[in-house]
Structure 1
Amino acid sequence: MVAIHQQEQHEEEEDVRYIAGIDEAGRGPVLGSMVYGIAWCKKSFVPSLKTKGFADSKQLTPDKRRELMDFMEKVRGPNGVDYASDALSARDIGARMLDSTRSSLNEIAFESTCRIIEEMLQKLAKMGDDDVDVHAEKSKEGGSASEAMAMIDTVYVDTLGDPRRHKDRLSGKFPGLSFVVESKADVKYPVVSAASIVAKVERDEELESLASSVVGSGYPGDERTKSWLLSQVDPIFGFKTHLVRFSWQTSKTILEESKAVEVSWDCEDEDNDSGQQKLWSTYSSNKKSQQVGGKAKKKRSAGVESSGIGRHSFFRSRKLQKIDAF
């Protein structure tokens, strides 16, 4: 009898632990945000997700996605399903990928995934509810990150890249969590499907202002999308809408083919220890360099002025010079 009671108690504790799912929407399109969604619920609530028909959001109609999103909003809470999202706008993606310290889309996606996991942990930690705090006592502050991790049985993640590498990175960032990283996880696990719907609905709402029949799918290979992008070209600012990802090759090609104005930016002075030559030294009379410790050391003469070559006439006519000291 004691063994049976202990088994029943263990099963009850397992049922009140949480599982979470993570998925994204909009990774590939040239238009709109990339949205990462996370959903979590008690293991005992999973049958309810299955009954409602949670599946990969891409396989559902917009009306069905909206219906399931309404259901999640209705049952949102510790005994239903909760969720969070992180949206990276087309402008943000372009800025990160085209910056001087370029970030890959995989790195941007990983950071987004970490943010939504942290948001989930913060919400669980604040709950401080005895019936879900299985492995740790409730703290006065409402729980800690370690206590929140103890509430979670498994985090299921859908991935497009190398599952093992992605899992290792997540486990390194959150050593207290158990991750299952798989391709097509949104089809296998209802909680990942819920996360997929959170992400897809948020992205759909952003693009509602655009007529899909005109814009197409938003993917680079869609001819309707390409035609629409051509109609949105601005010769100075690139595109008339902020929804275009400038870092996508499709956008770059269209701007080149449409003969948009090419802009050359004047390089700003760098700090002395940056290892980069300053703009004014490029035009100094002494352009020789000497080898010091295997590295080229640029000779600079203090006070050498810029010749103004390549600068706008506004600055040259007013004899405005760059200075690095006052």
Structure 2
Amino acid sequence: MADSQIEDDVALETPAADVFIAPSVNPDLLFTGASYTHYSAVPHSLQPTPNPDAASSSEKTIPGPACALGVDEAGRGPVLGPMVYGLFYLPLPLSDPLLRTTHHFDDSKVLTPTVRSNLMEKLCTPDTDLYTQCGWAVDVMSARDIGANMMKPAGTYNLNAQAMDATIALIQGVYKRGVNVKEIYIDTIGNPATYQKKLERVFPTAKVTVAKKADSLYPCVSAASVCAKVTRDAALEVLFESYVKKGEGDGDEEMSGTAEAGQETWGSGYPSDSKTTGWLKRNMDPCFGWGAECRFSWGTAKDMLELKGMAAKVEWPVEEDDETSRLTDFFSAEKEQDGDELGTWFGRPVGVDVF
């Protein structure tokens, strides 16, 4: 890829300078490295209504309008920050006119950072048409949890499996909130046909469509991509601020991640971004590497940690004891006769004549 193309891609992935901090951004959980989900309130117009003519308990409510639901992700490839799965739903008849014609939603990767931030702000502003007619949710998968799952010593929980579980859980959460979902559109993970068949088994009452470039083809997926991307953008800014404040508090310019000529952020978080790799090199702890914002399972982080002199190596001493020994061996009769301390910890055994 040409350098100019890389620069353009990085610019589109970098958060806006004044990115909108959506309600889906939880600083406390981000700082601890925890993953979490956030659901917007279900618009009143989409909620089920009581049925006064109900003949049975199963008919107590009348479903709300049939809705289209889209799911997309942001931040699959970065070494810094969370991967965010976004979900968006609205009445079927409004999908094209509201999202495409009125508000011009599109794949977040082709929208400028400022445009997608403004769209998210409108979605979260009471009394706007987006706020009153649409609902959304996100699953924020922290860098810490992504790395830990991918580096499990037994049974790796790969990124595709994590993404599939996040998608299913998000959709199930919308159903539990009473939304009448009839059509589901998802940007694919791997083979679209295989992914679609699995989701059809999980959600048999909805028409499921899984396709490549779904974020450009289906308006509800475009809107979901904006929710995911702006949440990730804002999360990156919040996480970076913790380093800025640390630098301001202890006078350590290097740890603050700032340059003398001004505030230079860690960029987009992608390995192809020179600002990201530069920040990682300047702010690596010699023992622990980085904080919960870094995906330690990524090659970029691994390579830096393994460079000679860049990180402390821990060597565990080899035990000289018999590896086949059991805990019960310490309590055996032989051990006790040898004066083993554990064997006589509670006193020596006595004969029945004592009683």
TM-score of the superposition, structure 2-length normalised? 0.62
Distance 1:301 1:110, change over 3 A: closer
Determine helix, strand or coil for the equivalent of 1:194.
helix
Which stretch of structure 1 is more off in the superposition, 52-61 or 158-167? 158-167
Q: Which amino acid aligns with 1:234?
A: D
Q: What is the CA–CA distance in structure 2 between the aligned matches of 1:322 and 1:233, rounded to whole Å?
A: 45
Considering only aligned residues, what root-mean-square deviation do their CA atoms show, in Å?
3.0
Q: Counterpart of 2:24?
A: none
1:35 to 70, 84, 96: 84
5 Å-filtered alignment, 1:194-209, equals 194-209=223-238
Distance 1:45 1:79, change over 3 A: farther
2:123 and 2:131 in contact (8 A); partners too = no
Give yes or no for the alignment of 1:260 onto 2:311: yes
Q: Which amino acid aligns with 2:170?
A: I
Structure 1 position 193, deviation (Å)? 0.8
Q: Which amino acid aligns with 1:252?
A: K
Structure 1 position 177, deviation (Å)? 2.5
Distance 1:227 1:78, change over 3 A: closer
5 Å-filtered alignment, 1:1-326, equals 16-46=65-95, 47-51=97-101, 52-73=103-124, 74=126, 75=128, 80-101=133-154, 102-123=156-177, 125=178, 151-209=180-238, 210=240, 214-239=265-290, 241-257=291-307, 258-264=309-315, 283-284=321-322, 303-304=328-329
Q: Which amino acid aligns with 2:220?
A: V
Question: Which digits, 9 at most, give the CA deviation of each residue in 1:173-201, with x for residues without a partner?
Answer: 22332211111111111111110111011
Determine helix, strand or coil for the equivalent of 1:92.
helix
Q: What is the CA–CA distance in structure 1 between the aligned matches of 2:157 and 2:329, rounded to whole Å?
A: 36
Q: What is the CA–CA distance in structure 1 between the aligned matches of 2:123 and 2:326, rounded to whole Å?
A: 67
Determine helix, strand or coil for the equivalent of 2:139.
strand
List runs of 5+ in structure 1 lacking aligned partners. Answer: 1-14, 126-147, 267-278, 288-298, 306-320
Q: What is the CA–CA distance in structure 1 between the aligned matches of 2:236 and 2:218, rounded to whole Å?
A: 27
1:163 and 1:181 in contact (8 A); partners too = yes
The higher-RCO structure (CA 8 Å, 6+ apart) is 2
List runs of 5+ in structure 2 lacking aligned partners. Answer: 1-63, 241-257, 331-340, 347-355
Q: What is the CA–CA distance in structure 1 between the aligned matches of 2:80 and 2:88, rounded to whole Å?
A: 25
1:76 and 1:82 in contact (8 A); partners too = no
Q: What is the CA–CA distance in structure 2 between the aligned matches of 1:264 and 1:35, rounded to whole Å?
A: 36
1:84 and 1:119 in contact (8 A); partners too = no
TM-score of the superposition, structure 1-length normalised? 0.67
Determine helix, strand or coil for the equivalent of 1:172.
helix
Q: What is the CA–CA distance in structure 2 between the aligned matches of 1:223 and 1:23, rounded to whole Å?
A: 27
Which stretch of structure 1 is more off in the superposition, 37-46 or 61-70? 61-70
Distance 1:37 1:245, change over 3 A: same
1:21 and 1:155 in contact (8 A); partners too = yes
Q: What is the CA–CA distance in structure 2 between the aligned matches of 1:71 and 1:214, rounded to whole Å?
A: 26
Question: Which digits, 9 at most, give the CA deviation of each residue in 1:261-293, with x for residues without a partner?
Answer: 122468xxxxxxxxxxxx98x842xx7xxxxxx
Aligned residues: 243
Which stretch of structure 1 is more off in the superposition, 226-235 or 190-199? 226-235
Question: Which digits, 9 at most, give the CA deviation of each residue in 1:19-59, with x for residues without a partner?
Answer: 00000010110010000010000012111111210101111
1:16 and 1:44 in contact (8 A); partners too = no
Q: Counterpart of 2:30?
A: none
Q: Which amino acid aligns with 1:247?
A: S
Q: Counterpart of 2:49?
A: none
Determine helix, strand or coil for the equivalent of 2:87.
strand
Q: Which amino acid aligns with 1:34?
A: M
1:163 and 1:183 in contact (8 A); partners too = yes
